[in-house]
Homo-oligomer: A and B are copies of this chain.
Amino acid sequence: VSRSGVITLTTDFGAADPYAGMMKGVILSIFPAARIVDLSHEIPAHDPAAAAWVLLDSVPFFPPGTVHLAVVDPGVGSKRRPLALRNGDRFFVGPDNGIFSAFLPADETVELNRPQFFLPKISACFHGRDLFAPVAARLAAGSALADFGSPLADPVRLRLPQPVQEGDTLRGEVIRVDRFGNLITNIPERLLPPSPFAARIGGTDVPGLFPCYAAIPAGTCAALLGSSGRLEIARPQGSAAAALAAAAGATVAILKRI
């Protein structure tokens, strides 16, 4: 599998601290031609599942042969294993805590157990910089995945919440709230009943599907297909999250025939 030279970063480090910058310094020291893209450094702290959804939504838009480096890593320095994997023509490097669950089972998975590919000194607090960045840089530069360690048969896999059909009701949940206050759910287009239907969240029934944000009447919430291909609840020029007092984890029930 050839490489694009692109490396994406997904972390919970925040953009204010220099941690992401240090990782970029390490990458450019090893692979000067790397083109590095920040996906997000504002993943909720210590929440690998939130990063898994971001990767699921974002990875398809990157060139084949891209290396996705993701570090949401509360177990850093403990016995949690470091890993790298390949799913089709996409590569992933990070902690073995389920952060890459959306891409499991993988075509190849290795435990990163060859210190000659790490920085000479490994801190117990920052494997993103000392271990994962050097491996991602070498992988993006063309090294074979198998070079970095022994096969790992049982990577940790998180169960990303999936919608459930219960009689006439499809029950999903909000997995992310974006800057606009849009509620992004885990309900894919193929599971939705024919429009019109209602999405019940909290005590409120929200009508759907609307074709786009601008078609929603001002001051009301409505359901539409978001850019992820999943149901989204939005309020034009306002925040659906605030209007519905809803956050990640809130249940969304789809009721047929509004």
Query: Contact residues of A with B, CB < 8 Å?
Result: 4-6, 8, 10, 12-19, 21-22, 24-26, 28-29, 32, 35-42, 45-46, 54, 57-58, 61-63, 66, 74-78, 80, 123-126, 129-130, 176, 178-180, 211-215, 224-227, 229, 232, 236-237
Contacts and interface: CB of A to CB of B under 8 A. Distances in A.
Given A15-B42, A58-B18, A227 B125 contact: yes
Nearest to A63: B29
Residue among A28, A57, A178, A236 with most chain B CB within 10 A: A28
Contacts of A21: 8, 37-40, 58
A49 B98 CA distance: 39
Most buried by B among A4, A6, A214: A214
Given A76-B214, A213-B125, A179 B16 contact: yes
A211 B77 contact: yes
B17 A40 contact: yes
A17 B226 contact: no
Nearest to A14: B179
A75 B214 contact: yes
A17 B226 CA distance: 14
What is the copy number of this chain in the assembly? 3
Q: Is the interface of A mostly helix, strand, loop or mixed?
A: loop
A109 to B, nearest CB: 22
A78 B37 contact: no
Nearest to A36: B37
Given A8-B25, A123-B227, A213-B125, A18 B77 contact: no
Contacts of A14: 178-179
B237 A28 contact: no
Contacts of A180: 12, 45
B212 A76 contact: yes
B226 A125 contact: yes
A126 B39 contact: no
B6 A28 contact: yes
Q: Which of A76, A77, A225 has the most CB of B within 10 A?
A: A77
A60 to B, nearest CB: 8
Nearest to A73: B213
A140 to B, nearest CB: 13
Given A40-B16, A40-B18, A58-B18, A125 B29 contact: no
